[in-house]
Structures are given as structure tokens and as C-alpha cells.
């Protein structure tokens, strides 16, 4: 049913801008599909067919005290917004998970997208006049928790360790502000990281544009050097999960530099602190490989005149084999899409991932399934392409203004967050062979069942 495994259990999770986001999204006009065009069965009812889809995919946000401006807990509420729901679902704008269908690798963990069957069911139900159906068919109501929790706590329990920023006073009015405190880890022994999550405080989460904990470690001369990001927080994101054969090391004398970007939202947020929750592997665990998360920049001018477009592109090549575990495009309100393509040493090219309808209000780390994450041999070139649009069709911008690259909220950005597991040649060959063997068994089983 498209169930999401990580629940947004805190109704104060997102900024006030998201309320506007939901209102805009549900009000946007657009081309929709009819039941006849989708080929769906018109004999559908709310209680039997639609309610399970709404429960599993919509009520997580569309419920009292959550982030959406309208509740979908009752039939009458869903019926009221039925045509808008049909429009947004048919155009794959809701649920807000903007990974392309049909372009690039499709097997993802925690995939929010509705199936074609679910979309056809909603379209057919609306076109049939939104019949309620037999109340005996209604599934049991979902039980939603409103207490403040870590998003990954439901699966992993509370974090094993928490690292906080120093307090910072965010004023009600003003311009973009950057806060970069350096804090100790307060660990006593080396530990390998299994998962991470950044959690802004309350009401701080409404004024945090981004919060990126950077890992600092001493070199041979005793000077602290940056080793990349442990995680990255932006609106809509939940955190990082490391594959089971890899990990990230955290040492007692490491430090965390918090790259925090605040944007005043009209109210004082005194003493704001942002937390990094960390889940560790058991003591004594030794990973086979290490993984890291990095910002990979895309070069080129971003100059958007009124009604104009722009494009950026970046290239990267490793000197050893790697496995690409996740991809997250990053830009602001003018980024329309981003793609990642691999050019292999033998000249073969492959589209790995594409997001065509990027939405800065919903940042997702698109995490590939374990057996589908791209295996990139030594010498593979990664080509990242981003494209931008400053048009009247974009409800989040003033298309009569000029915009350019910069760090402010009103400026534009162009980079990709990519988590990579670093392999040796032996590990690359072994994992590749294991995948091929598993794929052959699956293929043989499928052929044998015919």
C-alpha cells in the first residue's frame, strides 16, 4: 500500500512555510487523468478502496495538529478536497516525493510514491462521484502519536548518543544568519556509526534553513581537518542510514562543526539548540568498508532573468571503486530538476537517478535498495546536471526579479549530496559477483514458475 516506514511523529516538525506549501500544492490547477484514461475500474468506494490508501500515505501529514492545513481523517473531509487530491495524485505531486518514475534506478528504500494501481483507484473514485461505500469495509483507524520523537526512533529506538550545538538567539526580524559553533563529541571510546538524524529544537525548526554537522579530526600535526559531513538537515529530511556492511567512525577527540543557516520568521527563538542523534553499532563491531557523505558541487553561472532558465553541471571521478548509496539534489526554489549519469571506463553510459520536479520544501535522500545501489568501477565519471526555471508557473518565486547563485535564502544553489561506500578491488568484484548470482537465481525462479 505504499506504507512509509519512518513516521513524522512530531506535529511541529516542519516550518510554517510548509503550511503554505500544502495550500499551494492542493490549489494548483493542472492536467488530470480520468478513470477512462487510466483504465481503472469505476466500481470503487471510499471505505473499501480509498481509505486504506489515504491512511497509509496521507494521514501522516493530513491530520489534526500535524503539518498539513487540512485533515483527511474522515470521509467528509476527503470528499471535500477530492478533485484537488485527484489532480495532485495524478500528477505525482502528492505524496511529496519527487523522484522520477521511469528514469534511473527505481528500487528505493522508504519510497513514498503511490503505485499506478493506487493512483488509478483514486482517479476512478473521484470520477465515479466519490461514493462512500459500506461502513463495514472501513479499515481500523490509524493511531498517530503526537509526542516529540526522533524520526528513526520507531525502528531503531532512541539514539545512543546526542551532540548539541551551543545555544543561539534567533531574532524575529533580520537577514540570513550563519552560526558555526565547534563542539566536542563527548565520546569516551571509538564507535562506528549506524545511523544519524539532525533534529532542530522547538520553535527553532521553523527558522532553520539548514544544519550540517561537519566532522573534524586531528591530523598527524595535531591540527583539526574536515572529513566531510555526518549528515545534512533541510526541510523535509529525516537523516542518514548506513548500509549494513559499512559504517562511519567517530573518535573521542573528534569535533563537530555545525554549519547552521538561520532565517528569521517573525518571532524570537531564544537559545535555539540543534541536536545530532547517533545510533551506533555494538561495541567491537568492525565494518568491512567505510562510507561518507559529501557535497558534490555543480559548476557554472546561475543567472536567471525574468522568465529565464539556466543550467549547471559537475563531474567527479574516484581513483578506486565505490558504491553509490544515496543521492539528494540541493537547490532553492528555482531548481527544477537534477540528474546523475555514469560514464563507465568502457564508454558505456547509464542514467542512475533523476528528479524532474524538485521541490525545495521537501528534501529527500533517495536511498537505493541494497542490491540496486550503483557499483562504479575505478575510473567511472559521474556527471551531475541541474536545470533552473524562473517563470510565472513557479508559485514560489517572483518571476519578474533577477536571481543568481549565492548562499542566501533568496539566492540559488547547485550541488548534490551523495553517500558513497569506498571499496577495494576485491570487495568490488565480490559484491558484483554476489549480485549477479542472486539475479540469476531470481531469473531462474521466475522462469520456472511460468
Mean pLDDT of 388-392: 89
In a domain, 366, yes or no: yes
User: What pLDDT does residue 11 have?
Assistant: 31
Cα–Cα distance measured from residue 120 to residue 384, given in angstroms and rounded to the nearest whole number: 33
Higher pLDDT, 442 or 200: 200
Residues 105 and 47 in one domain: yes
The answer as to whether 341 is a domain residue is yes
- Judged against a pLDDT cut of 50, whether residue 30 lies above it is answered with no
Which grid cell is 6?
519512518
Count: domains in the chain:
3
88 and 20 belong to one structural domain? yes
Single out the residue in 259, 287, 315 at which a domain terminates.
287
Distances (CA, A) of 415 to 335, 375, 409: 11, 21, 15
Does 202 fall in a domain? yes
Same domain, 157 and 277: yes
Name the residue range of residue 236's domain.
151-287
Flag whether pLDDT at 121 surpasses 60. Answer: yes
Contact 122, 158 (CB under 8 A): no
Q: Considering 82, 108, 137, which residue would you say is the last residue of a domain? A: 137
Which pLDDT belongs to residue 204?
61
What average pLDDT does range 378-396 have in this prediction? Answer: 91
CATH code of the domain in which 448 resides: 2.60.120.230
> pLDDT confidence of 443, banded at 50, 70, 90?
low
Domain assignment of residue 5, yes or no: no
Q: Is residue 10 assigned to a domain? A: no
Cα(249)–Cα(234) distance, integer angstroms: 23
Specify whether the CB–CB gap between 382 and 315 falls below 8 A: yes
Residue position matching grid coordinates 547552521 = 260
Do 218 and 299 fall within a single domain? no
Average pLDDT rounded to a whole number, residues 74-99: 91
What is the model's pLDDT at position 5?
30
pTM (two decimals): 0.76
Arithmetic mean of pLDDT over the chain: 84
149, pLDDT greater than 80 = no
In angstroms, rounded to a whole number, what is the distance separating the alpha carbons of residues 232 and 212?
A: 4
Residue 142 lies in a domain: no
Quick check: is 34 in a domain? yes
State yes or no: pLDDT of 253 exceeds 80: yes
Residue 202 has a pLDDT of 67
Residues 155 and 88 in one domain: no
Nearest-angstrom CA–CA distance, 215 and 193: 13
pLDDT at 450 over 80: no
Average pLDDT for 378-382: 96
The model's confidence at residue 279, banded by pLDDT at 50, 70 and 90, is very high
Does residue 368 carry a pLDDT above 60? Answer: yes
Average pLDDT over residues 140-159: 79
Query: Based on the domain organization, do 423 and 283 belong to the same domain?
Result: no
Paired residues of 387 in beta bridges:
311, 337
Same domain flag for 303 and 417: yes
Regarding whether 112 and 245 lie in a shared domain, the answer is: no
Whether residues 169 and 317 fall in one domain? no
Asked whether residue 422 is assigned to any structural domain, the reply reads yes
User: What confidence category does residue 398 fall into, taking pLDDT thresholds of 50, 70 and 90?
Assistant: confident
Tens-digit pLDDT profile for residues 408-429:
877 787 889 999 999 999 999 9
Q: Do 396 and 450 share a domain, yes or no?
A: yes
**Mean pLDDT value across residues 142-163:** 81
Confidence of residue 127 (pLDDT cuts 50, 70, 90): very high
Cell numbers linked to 149: 520523537
Cβ–Cβ < 8 Å for 439, 370: no
82-90 vs 116-127: helix crossing angle, rounded to 10: 150
Within this chain, do residues 127 and 236 fall inside the same structural domain, yes or no? no
Give the pLDDT confidence score for residue 231 in this predicted structure: 85
Domain boundary among 114, 137, 160: 137
Task: Give me the mean pLDDT over the 24-45 stretch.
Answer: 49
> What backbone torsions phi and psi does residue 218 show, to the nearest 5 degrees?
-70, 140
pLDDT at 17: 37
What integer pLDDT is reported at residue 112 of this predicted model? 86
The answer on 79 and 35 residing in a single domain is yes
Confidence of residue 434 (pLDDT cuts 50, 70, 90): very high
Q: In the 8-state DSSP scheme, what is residue 368?
A: B
Mean pLDDT comparison of 229-238, 247-256, 397-406, highest-scoring range: 247-256
Amino acid at each position: 500500500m505504499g506504507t512509509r516506514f519512518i513516521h513524522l511523529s512530531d506535529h511541529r516538525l516542519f516550518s510554517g512555510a510548509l503550511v503554505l506549501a500544502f495550500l499551494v500544492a492542493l490549489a494548483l490547477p493542472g492536467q488530470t487523468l480520468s478513470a477512462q484514461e487510466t483504465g481503472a475500474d469505476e466500481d470503487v468506494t471510499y471505505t473499501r478502496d480509498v481509505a486504506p490508501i489515504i491512511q497509509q500515505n496521507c494521514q501522516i501529514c493530513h491530520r489534526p495538529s500535524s503539518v498539513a492545513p487540512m485533515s483527511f481523517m474522515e470521509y467528509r473531509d476527503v470528499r471535500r478536497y477530492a478533485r484537488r487530491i485527484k489532480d495532485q495524485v495524478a500528477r505525482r505531486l502528492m505524496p511529496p516525493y519527487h523522484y522520477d518514475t521511469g528514469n534511473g534506478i527505481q528500487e528505493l528504500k522508504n519510497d513514498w510514491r503511490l503505485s499506478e494501481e493506487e493512483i488509478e483507484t483514486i482517479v476512478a473514485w473521484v470520477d465515479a462521484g466519490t461514493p462512500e461505500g459500506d461502513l463495514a469495509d472501513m479499515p481500523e483507524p490509524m493511531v498517530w502519536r503526537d509526542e516529540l520523537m526522533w524520526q528513526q526512533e520507531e525502528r531503531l529506538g532512541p539514539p545512543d548518543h546526542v551532540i548539541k550545538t551551543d545555544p543561539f538567539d534567533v531574532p524575529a526580524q533580520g537577514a540570513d544568519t550563519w552560526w558555526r559553533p565547534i563542539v566536542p563529541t563527548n565520546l569516551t571510546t571509538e564507535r562506528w556509526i549506524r545511523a544519524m538524524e539532525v533534529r532542530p529544537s522547538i520553535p527553532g525548526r521553523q527558522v532553520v534553513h539548514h544544519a550540517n554537522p561537519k566532522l573534524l579530526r586531528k591530523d598527524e600535526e595535531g591540527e583539526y581537518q574536515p572529513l566531510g559531513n555526518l549528515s545534512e538537515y533541510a526541510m523535509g529530511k529525516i537523516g542518514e542510514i548506513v548500509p549494513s556492511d559499512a559504517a562511519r567512525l567517530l573518535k573521542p577527540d573528534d569535533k563537530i562543526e555545525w554549519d547552521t543557516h538561520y532565517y528569521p520568521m517573525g518571532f524570537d527563538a531564544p537559545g535555539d539548540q540543534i541536536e545530532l542523534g547517533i545510533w551506533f553499532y555494538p561495541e567491537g563491531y568492525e565494518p568491512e568498508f567505510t562510507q561518507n557523505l559529501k557535497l558534490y558541487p555543480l559548476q557554472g553561472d546561475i543567472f536567471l532573468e525574468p522568465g529565464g532558465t539556466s543550467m549547471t553541471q559537475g563531474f567527479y571521478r574516484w581513483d578506486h571503486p565505490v558504491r553509490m548509496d544515496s543521492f539528494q539534489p540541493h537547490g532553492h526554489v528555482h531548481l527544477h530538476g537534477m540528474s546523475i549519469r555514469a560514464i563507465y571506463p568502457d564508454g558505456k553510459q547509464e542514467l542512475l537517478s533523476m528528479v524532474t520536479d524538485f521541490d525545495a520544501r521537501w528534501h529527500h535522500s533517495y536511498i537505493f535498495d541494497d542490491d540496486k545501489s550503483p557499483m562504479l568501477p575505478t575510473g567511472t565519471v559521474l556527471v551531475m546536471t541541474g536545470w533552473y526555471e524562473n517563470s510565472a508557473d513557479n508559485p514560489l518565486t517572483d518571476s519578474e526579479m533577477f536571481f543568481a547563485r549565492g548562499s542566501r535564502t533568496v539566492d540559488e544553489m547547485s550541488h548534490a549530496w551523495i553517500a558513497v561506500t569506498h571499496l577495494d578491488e576485491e570487495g568490488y568484484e565480490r559484491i558484483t559477483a554476489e549480485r549477479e548470482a542472486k539475479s540469476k537465481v531470481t531469473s531462474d525462479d521466475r522462469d520456472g514458475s511460468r
